[in-house]
Structure 1
Amino acid sequence: MAQSDVSQLAGRKVIVTGGAGFIGSHLCEALVKASAEVICLDDLSAGKRSNVAHLDGCPNFRLVEASVCDEGARMDTLFVGTDTVFHNAASKKNICLVDPHRDLEVNAGGALNLLKLAMKHGVRKFVQASTGSVYGEPQLFPTTETHPFDPVSYYGVSKLAGERYVDVFHKLYGLDTTILRYFHVYGPRQESNEFGGVVSIFLRRITEGQNPIVFGHGEQVRSFTWVGDLVDANLRAATNPQATGQAYNAASGIRVTINELARGMLDILDNEGRLRVEHGDPLIGDIMEFDVSNEKIREQLGVEFEGDFWGTLKTALGDVNGFLGAGAGAATMS
């Protein structure tokens, strides 16, 4: 991003929901560097203090422990004077199978709550993090932003509901909004438990001397996107007038199967060849094919995505503990 664009946020109050999470912490980091006044809002149900501990000494950063579903005076006070909201908090896809009501409450109700606060306090810009899961099993390739919505998971349904609320607040009340649909993000601090991303889950298992487990046949195609590119997409969406009222696929366009990912990570990390790929039962609502068009976000916002997936991954995996996050504990091949 050109410095003149991100400098628009200097001195302005911004709220990053889910700011202590994987993607949110990287966004907070960039905003602090850009001299914005950053409120990191996170209930720490999934986010970690350790993800933003390096920002604690910055005078323009503050971590506030609260939920996006919270209402009342505290949230009202928090939103006073806010210029931009980056809404990254979410109930993740795997969690929705355990508690679909909580999934709806956070992903739909939380978005509605924040939008109401944004309107009440005259927020200039609202950037909504969504997901490619709103499309369901894609029928048109490459998949553009005009693809019909047909989610096949609770998560996809609740995130689509959040998108619809965003659209309503833009169309009815004139709130300046942008929706970014994320696809299979990878990078440092990604959660490595059962609710995390597949790259970090494989990394944790391999470094613990366990076989990576692929659910189903493993020929599911994913479009892995570097976390830094999503940070850039958020900053551009917040500062480019062309993004007003738009939705974008924020995806690299890279196509890698889960089998290829597992085998490639073993090649990088298991030098002695002790491990192998295992297969488990398929996941409910797992989408088989992704061929995502990022033409719109590249042309309108100028986002350039990392194209060297294996090179970037190999470099990032050189710091295993950094990739898994400061709170993950030491990881070594046993």
Structure 2
Amino acid sequence: MNILVTGGAGFIASHIVDQLIISGHHVHIFDNLSTGRDENLNPLAVFHQGDLLDNGLAEAFTAARPEVVIHHAAQIDVQTSLTNPLLDAKINIFGTIAVLEQCREHGVRKLIYASSAAVYGTPQYLGVDEKHPIKPLSFYGISKHTPEHYIESFSSLYELDYTILRYANVYGIRQDPKGEGGVVSIFVDKLLTGKQPLIFSDGEQTRDFIYVKDIVRANVAALSKGSRGLYNISCNEQTSVNVLLKEMCDISGMSFNPSYAPARAGDIVHSRLDNRAALAGLDWSPVYTLRSGLQETFDYYKEQYLG
């Protein structure tokens, strides 16, 4: 199958590309390398460098002739969305519309879209299912949710199939602790460089952490399942940031000694996504526990940092 992956040099999508290549698909990557990295590019994929809103996108579609597009190129940082909402909207909303236009023009069969738990805002109940009200706290949550409506409309108007995946807090190998990295990659970096981890708020806020390889499996499942469906991709478990750091210290054999700072704007307190719809619609469920995912992540970075 010919597949185009936007953002394919990034943390999550590069792992998806690797698995698609292993499965025998012909893969093209479209990425501007603003946050993606050269070293994440699979040499067996065809790479096209460019922005979603320039002519390079159409050229990539023409070259790839994709049957399926997996769309991960995005502005992913909540704090950036608050300080620069125009940039956030330009990339996440207008960029997705540009992808949809190319899907229509090139007769793409299906779009798989990476959405986010941020669309829900402060949970009214836990676990949050797909019917939960949409009340995002940040511009990022708005810019990830708005394309969902465009996708549904393009599907109705132009017979474009789709699957929308709303990710919980993804962690794992290749996540960048220096830029917009998640808390796990930041903690790994602090522990391995002997620096004090910083926790915002009191650390009792909870997140639903899911390992990147389970995210990959959901995307692969969506190639043939989940037609016109919307699914939470999560572990359906709550873990506090304090407990997360304690678990990582236990795995690493290092001490637990964080500093604390005030909570950040746009951050919710508690999160847990119900993943039962994905089990039914995608025949998917996570296979990594938090412990096993953290162990694999830490072992990888220990080798990278310490040799």
Q: Which category of TM-score, normalised to the shorter sequence, fits these structures?
A: over 0.9
Whether contact under 8 Å (1:226, 1:306) holds in the other structure is: no
Whether contact under 8 Å (2:51, 2:57) holds in the other structure is: no
Provide the C-alpha distance between the structure 1 equivalents of 2:288 and 2:94, rounded to a whole number of angstroms: 36
C-alpha distance after superposition, 1:99-154 (max 9, x if no partner)? 22111001101100000110011001100100010000110222110111000001
Which of 63, 79, 82 does residue 61 from structure 2 map onto? 79
Residue of structure 2 in register with 1:63 after alignment: 47
Shift of 1:321: 5.1
Provide the C-alpha distance between the structure 1 equivalents of 2:172 and 2:89, rounded to a whole number of angstroms: 27
Matches within 5 A, 1:179-328: 179-240=164-225, 243-271=226-254, 273=255, 276-320=257-301
Helix, strand or coil for the counterpart of 2:230? strand
Which of 94, 110, 135 does residue 95 from structure 2 map onto? 110
Which of 34, 44, 68 does residue 45 from structure 1 map onto? 34
Residue of structure 2 in register with 1:8 after alignment: none
For 1:281, the aligned partner's letter is: P
Gaps of 5+ in 1: 1-11, 323-329
Whether contact under 8 Å (1:16, 1:28) holds in the other structure is: yes
Which of 66, 74, 77 does residue 90 from structure 1 map onto? 74
Residue of structure 1 in register with 2:126 after alignment: 141
**Stretches of 4+ aligned residues off by more than 4 angstroms:** none
Shift of 1:246: 1.0
Shift of 1:176: 0.4
For 2:247, the aligned partner's letter is: G
Provide the C-alpha distance between the structure 1 equivalents of 2:290 and 2:82, rounded to a whole number of angstroms: 30
For 1:77, the aligned partner's letter is: E
Shift of 1:20: 0.3
Provide the C-alpha distance between the structure 2 equivalents of 1:214 and 1:270, rounded to a whole number of angstroms: 19
TM-score after normalising by structure 2: 0.94
How many aligned residue pairs are there? 304
C-alpha distance after superposition, 1:43-63 (max 9, x if no partner)? 0000001112xx21x2xx111
Helix, strand or coil for the counterpart of 1:86? strand
Gaps of 5+ in 2: none
Whether contact under 8 Å (2:2, 2:25) holds in the other structure is: yes
Helix, strand or coil for the counterpart of 1:239? coil
Shift of 1:66: 1.1
Provide the C-alpha distance between the structure 1 equivalents of 2:53 and 2:143, rounded to a whole number of angstroms: 14
Helix, strand or coil for the counterpart of 2:97? helix
TM-score after normalising by structure 1: 0.87
Shift of 1:270: 4.5
